[in-house]
Structure 1
Amino acid sequence: MTTEKDTEAETDSGTETETETDSDDFEDEDDAQAAKAAAAKPGEIIGFEDLGLGEESLKLIREAGYLVPTPIQEQAIPAILDGYDVIGSAQTGTGKTATFTLPVVEQLTGRGGT
């Protein structure tokens, strides 16, 4: 049985929340991501559309089959789009490359950020 444990720091309150997802409970990764989105707290980022990315990027993300951003994506993409310098650390396979590439493409094409 494989258990995925995400720890996410909430910068406003200084607290950490942990979410455990047992991948054996779901038929595929899409179901697991959908369950994570359903368990999100009100006001919590639950989709890429909440990150401030342009429609073209969102379309490509959907076509690639991604439904829910990872914690590093939730925290870093909006900050990068807003022009902040970001240093991030996350486990291999969590989407760090997309985290930093998507906002840069948005800014270079004039579609996102400020």
Structure 2
Amino acid sequence: ILEQRLMELMRTQPATTAPLENSFLDALAAATPTPGGGSAAAHTGAVAAALVAMVARLTLGKKKYEAVKDRMWAILEQAENLRTELLRNVEEDSQAFEAVMQAFKLPKDTPEQEQQRQQAIQQA
């Protein structure tokens, strides 16, 4: 019975669950404006860069691919740099959108207020 239950669990659950990944997806699915599309796009780009880094690492050290070793190191470095930058963009996009939303809430009853509001939107 225990073996059957374990096999059932292995079939229905992913091999690994990444709490951080799940928390991002939970935040994305929440009824909140952020994270939004820009953050999701940056996150997807970071995942793609991570996959490129994985392939580069799997290629490095294999005799069959010795001729492209230097190129693999360059690709790995670029992929890791992109991954870092894109993960930073996930947070920056959310912060920028929240700033825009706050600017939209500013009063616009007078021409001066409307001008200040427009400036705040542009700065955000």
Regarding TM over 0.5, the answer is no
Q: TM-score, normalised by structure 2?
A: 0.23
Which structure has more relative contact order (CA 8 Å, sep 6+)? It is 2
Question: When you count strand as a share of all residues, which structure comes out higher?
Answer: 1
Greater Rg by CA: 2
TM-score under structure 1 normalisation?
0.25
The structure richer in helix per residue is 2
